[in-house]
């Protein structure tokens, strides 16, 4: 999933408009700094209910953690090297304003994970930290549906 967002990095006060790309995390055979093109979810064949509780059923692998890469624009030349990355995302949640009348208009999210070593990370390079993210609204989307789309990565 990808699109325009406004972001604010932990320890910084300014908001930046960037192109964000969300992808599944890397497998052990790929470069740890490069985003993967896989979703991290292994497709499974449909099973009958009677097989659900059988002893020979092996547990399915858990989904992998997402990888976020932020770029200056969606142009291919700008997407060669990310300006900021967030790996090993541990939490993603909505942040709502204190005023109840603004809750339905909020698109603000907070993501926690390991911030990459890019220059834009500032003092948070290679540290656990957070990003505040506000996705730009697409035509026809309400604020709540746009935020949920980004939180679940669809």
Decide if pLDDT at 128 tops 90: yes
Residue 45 included in any domain: no
For the segment 76-87, the average pLDDT, to the nearest whole number, is 93
- Give the per-residue pLDDT at 109: 92
pLDDT digits (tens, 9 = 90+) for 27-59: 444 444 444 444 444 555 555 555 545 555 555
**Domain total for the chain?**
1
25, 36 contact by CB (below 8 A): yes
Buried-exposed string 85-116: b where 16+ CB fall within 10 A, e elsewhere? bbbebeebeeeeeeeeeeeeebbbbebbbbbb
For the segment 12-24, the average pLDDT, to the nearest whole number, is 91
Residue 52 included in any domain: no
Confidence of residue 78 (pLDDT cuts 50, 70, 90): very high
Domain enclosing residue 122, as ranges = 2-30+60-152
pLDDT digits (tens, 9 = 90+) for 98-121: 998 888 888 899 999 999 999 999
Read off the CATH number of the domain in which 136 is found: 2.30.29
- Give the per-residue pLDDT at 116: 94
Residue 47 included in any domain: no
């Amino acid at each position: 999933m990808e699109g325009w967002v406004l972001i604010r990095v932990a320890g910084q006060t300014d908001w930046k408009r960037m192109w964000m790309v969300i992808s599944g995390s890397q497998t052990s055979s790929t470069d740890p700094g490069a985003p993967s093109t896989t979703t991290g979810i292994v497709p499974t064949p449909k099973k009958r209910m009677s097989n659900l509780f059988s002893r020979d059923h092996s547990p399915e692998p858990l989904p992998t953690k997402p990888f976020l890469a932020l770029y200056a624009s969606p142009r291919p030349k700008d997407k060669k090297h990310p300006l900021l990355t967030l790996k090993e995302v541990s939490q993603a949640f909505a942040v709502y304003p204190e005023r109840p009348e603004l809750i339905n208009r909020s698109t603000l999210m907070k993501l926690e994970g390991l911030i990459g070593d890019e220059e834009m990370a500032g003092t948070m390079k290679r540290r656990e930290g957070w990003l505040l993210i506000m996705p730009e609204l697409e035509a026809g989307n309400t604020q709540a549906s746009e935020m949920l789309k980004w939180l679940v990565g669809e």
